[in-house]
Chain A
Amino acid sequence: MTTRVDAAVTAMTGPAAPPRRNGELVFDAPWQGRAFGMAVGVVERLGLEWKVFQERLIAAIAAHPEAPYYDCWVAALERLVLDYGAATAEEMDAARETVRETSE
């Protein structure tokens, strides 16, 4: 783990800051915690600055102010993955289809 990314993550403030209660990050469901970890992981593994994700998160929240925070988080992460060519939209669609089929 790079301290640089971690410092940036913990310093997030304003509407893009993750929900906290008594200082703790609040995950209403396990998938939210995994989405949190996934974003940190992707940013590190792709060698990016945290702000690259943060900008997309801010944009996602601005586009859907009424949407739950971690819905925006996932949308921002998808955008980042697409923008940096880590996966294609077609691959994403196929992966979702697989998840839907196996969860039924």
Chain B
Amino acid sequence: MSEHDDDHHHPAPLSPVEVRALALEELLKKKGVIQEGFIDAVVSAYENDIGPMNGARVVARAWVDPAYKARLLANGTAAIAELGFGGPEGEHLVVIENTPTVHNAVVCTLCSCYPWPVLGLPPNWYKSPPYRARMVREPRVLLREMGLDLPGSVEIRVWDSSAEIRYMVLPERPGGTEGKSEEELAALVTRDSMIGTARL
């Protein structure tokens, strides 16, 4: 973020590395190595798909394997590591379970702490000040605005992530999925359901 307000209408000249990056991008497009839109798609995939896939596998395993689910709720970090996920930002992962009467949602009021190894890059709204403030102040209203209208009988619990503890929601297994394989179940799990701004 530039602090030089005077410069707003006079963009700084491109730095040497920017020139090189831009030149490389133009060249690769011209040579057909990279198509227009491809880079945007990659960046977007890292934000939306790559990480959440890991979390979805964790959720699907918990749905089909009660012993795994028990381990997951007892020690999220260890149970998630069993599936090969983890890393620098995956320490102290706590998984909280949705039930018919309790809905959990995750926020980071201070910044944007997020369980990166299981959920990938956080969506932009997760980092936005309104989400961070309102999820604490008026979660029911905010969730409704985000498309999740919970009955008044369902208690909403909001979990504030920090550098020490990252939360992930274990959504309820949707009805009518008894015959599905673990892999099919994983495909049903969305990123937002693991943040708690959606149900399945």
Contact = CB atoms under 8 A, between A and B. Distances in A.
Interface of A: 1, 3, 6, 10-11, 13, 20, 22-25, 29, 31, 33-38, 40-42, 45-46, 68, 70-71, 74-75, 77-78, 81, 86-87, 91-92, 95-96, 98-100, 103-104
Given A25-B46, A37-B39, A45-B34, A92 B24 contact: yes
Contact of A96 (B20, B31, B50, B117): B20
A33 B40 CA distance: 9
Main secondary structure of the interface of B (DSSP, over half): helix
A104 B12 CA distance: 10
Main secondary structure of the interface of A (DSSP, over half): helix
Interface stretch (B67-75, B106-114, B142-150): B106-114
A45 to B, nearest CB: 5
B22 interface: yes
9 contacts: A1-B50, A6-B45, A20-B89, A23-B89, A35-B21, A36-B43, A86-B28, A95-B23, A99-B22
Interface in B111-156: 111-117, 121-122
A92 B27 contact: yes
A28 B145 CA distance: 31
Interface residues of B, number: 46
Contacts, number: 132
A41 B42 contact: yes
B24 A13 contact: no
Nearest to B42: A37
Given A10-B50, A24-B114, A41-B42, A34 B27 contact: no
Contact of A6 (B14, B31, B50): B50
Given A20-B89, A42-B34, A74 B111 contact: no
B39 A10 contact: no
Interface of B: 13-14, 17-28, 30-31, 33-34, 38-43, 45-46, 49-51, 53, 87-90, 108, 111-117, 121-122, 163, 166
Nearest to B49: A1
Given A1-B45, A23-B116, A24-B122, A81 B24 contact: yes
A46 B38 CA distance: 14
A10 B51 contact: yes
A96 B26 CA distance: 9
Given A31-B21, A96-B23, A86 B122 contact: no
A1 B22 contact: no
